[in-house]
Structure 1
Amino acid sequence: MSDAVTLIDDDLHRQLALRWLSPRADDAHKGDFGPLLVVGGGEGYSGAALLAAETALRAGAGATLVACGRTAAAGLWLHRPELMARAVSSRADLQPLLAMARVVVAGPGLGRDDWARELWPALAAPGPRQVLDADGLFWLAENPERHPARVLTPHPGEAARLLHCHVADISRDRPAAARELQSEYGGVVILKGAGTLVCDGERVWRCTAGNPGMATPGMGDVLAGLAGALLAQGVPLFEAAALAVSLHARAGDRVAVHKGQRGMLASDLWGPMPALLNPTQQVVEQ
């Protein structure tokens, strides 16, 4: 395997966008791009599930459901009525939603309590394509298992937990850490940070876009929802991960240009997304 790291430069971004973000068929319907299911939003963490799920909708997912705690469900219904929030308390409640989902985004606001512990075995079982983020990565580290159709989205601290090492070990050689994570857990790995890496075991791509203003709560939830939305629209695993990272970073850069870096919110990325997600042959966001 080559040790080379390929940059996600403007030309590669353009190729991915033109290939996978082409105009939709006139007879498309919401079932063509879903259902997408977000599992998270435990007690006190409804915001994370909302950021992931609303991002998925804004990024082109079709029917979008959220399996969450009872308190979170009420808040989601009020804030974003386009989402189908379902309160779940057990694996039995969750299983029918998993059975109907094309893609699952698991972890935003999942928590580490008994509720999450009850749901985790259903999320770990073989099933639809999955984006695993946040507390989902905590439970994976506690119960290691490979999954060929999963996108993992760890930051360096979560990567260190998954590899049973120190954050300094991750930072010392990020491409090697991304490869090791992929070898251990399968699927595609998005190793977040300055110069986010995307690795499928054969390729390691590095994104050069993005800025320090994006070091703020909720950015990972937005990225997870974006990756899930692209998967729900039929983009292959590695391409969905790479394109999500690139779009996410470019949206952050556009916000920084217009509003500045300091004080950026994760939900601010929703503003630039329509232009980024709807390129044409003549005009592609760079």
Structure 2
Amino acid sequence: MSNLIPKLPARDPDSNKGTHGRGLLIAGSVGMSGAAVLGGTAMLRSGTGLVTVATTRAAQTLVALGNPCYMTAGLTEDPVTGKLSHGAIGPALQLAMHRDAVGIGPGLGTSEALGQLVRLLLEQSRGGLVIDADGLNSLGHNPVLPKRLVPAVITPHPGEFARLTGQTIAEVQSDREGNARKLARHLGVVVLLKGNHTVITDGERLAVNKTGNPGMARGGSGDVLTGILVALLCQQMTPYEAAVLGAHVHGLAGDFARDKLGEVGMIATDLVDFLPAAFMRLG
């Protein structure tokens, strides 16, 4: 087990916005547009050069109003459920082909189309992939993933982990490190098992995060983490390195927010606001 924190690559004085990566976040829907805003803004605050947030067409205006610094794209939704339709799969894949890293899941709602899109991204994405929230839930129980996988990080909380593996939450929590390592080996991805002392493993290496506090246990915190991870992948970190550093920075921003605002009153936007300070602390 190692808890050494990887370092973000130094920035070249002659770099430009393209140098620091083009990232895509597929997130949000009506009633859940905040997930897309939080994730997209976290990508910006974590160093991504160019950010595009793809969301359902019905939510696109709200997402665009959330931050003027990222671009948005509209994807077709089912007129009844409001979730991604099968017609969104092709355009989403086209967007992904031109990005250095992709995040998918926050605020989308589970659907058959989303499950298909996640599997296709695992096969076809140009760069790294982060799968969170509804992206994980859409894979179903004991998923069989494509044999050719792009470098990927999955970020389940204990409930999502239990749904993926068929375990109870109590079983997951009884051996967090062993269960995370087993799932990482089985799926061929980096697993970031959220919770007190988040566990990160690629099946061989394993780290336990020491930053963070109970004030972070509220809606939107995971969306911020997804954005951080996509940003670090955009900046040429490996999935394991990005997951270890991302969990540390996420928790550190939460600790700064707690110290300033207290655990009771802090919210997910505070995590985003303290990301610059967290990265500065790392040097």
Q: TM-score, normalised to structure 1's length?
A: 0.88
Compute the displacement of 1:108 (Å): 0.9
Alignment of 1:88-127 (within 5 A): 88-89=75-76, 90-113=88-111, 116=114, 119-127=117-125
Aligned to 2:83: none
Q: Retained in 2: the 8 A contact 1:32–1:62?
A: yes
1:232-280: CA deviations, max 9, x gaps? 011111111000000111111111111111121111012321122235x
Q: Superposition pairs for residues 1-286 of structure 1, below 5 Å?
A: 5-6=1-2, 8=3, 12-13=4-5, 16-17=6-7, 20-22=8-10, 24-89=11-76, 90-113=88-111, 116=114, 119-127=117-125, 128-141=127-140, 143-145=143-145, 147=149, 149-278=151-280, 284=282
Offset, 1:148: 5.0
Kindly indicate whether the alpha-carbon contact (under 8 Å) linking 1:106 and 1:123 is maintained by their aligned counterparts in 2. Answer: no
Secondary structure of the 2:109 match is coil
Alpha-carbon distance in structure 1 between the residues aligned to 2:138 and 2:16: 35
State whether residues 89 and 117 of structure 2, in contact with CA within 8 Å, keep that contact through their aligned partners in structure 1.
yes
Deviation at 1:21, TM superposition (A): 4.7
What one-letter code is carried by the residue in structure 1 that aligns with 2:94? P
Paired residue type of 1:48: A
**Residue 115 and residue 69 in structure 1: after superposition, are their counterparts in 2 closer, same or farther (change >3 A)?**
farther
Query: Separation in 2 of the partners of 1:91 and 1:36?
Result: 18
More off after superposition, 163-172 vs 37-46: 37-46
Q: Using the alignment, how far apart are the partners of 2:24 and 2:247 within structure 1?
A: 20
Identity of aligned residues (%): 37
Whether the 8 Å contact between 2:123 and 2:150 is mirrored in structure 1 is no
- For 2:116 and 2:164, the matched residues in 1 are separated by 21
Q: What do you get for the CA RMSD once the two structures are aligned?
A: 1.8
Counterpart CA distance in 2 for 1:198 and 1:92 is: 32
Q: How far off its partner does 1:112 sit?
A: 1.4
- With CA pairs under 8 Å and 6+ residues apart, which has the higher RCO, 1 or 2? 1
Q: Residue type matched to 1:162 in 2?
A: L
Q: Equivalent residue of 2:103, what SS?
A: strand
Question: Which structure 1 residue ranges, 5 or more long, are not aligned?
Answer: none
Counterpart secondary structure, 1:130: strand
Residues 190, 241 of structure 1: 8 Å contact kept: yes
SS in 1 for 2:54: strand
SS of 1:140's partner is coil
- 1:84/1:108 Cα in 2 relative to 1: closer, same or farther (>3 Å)? same
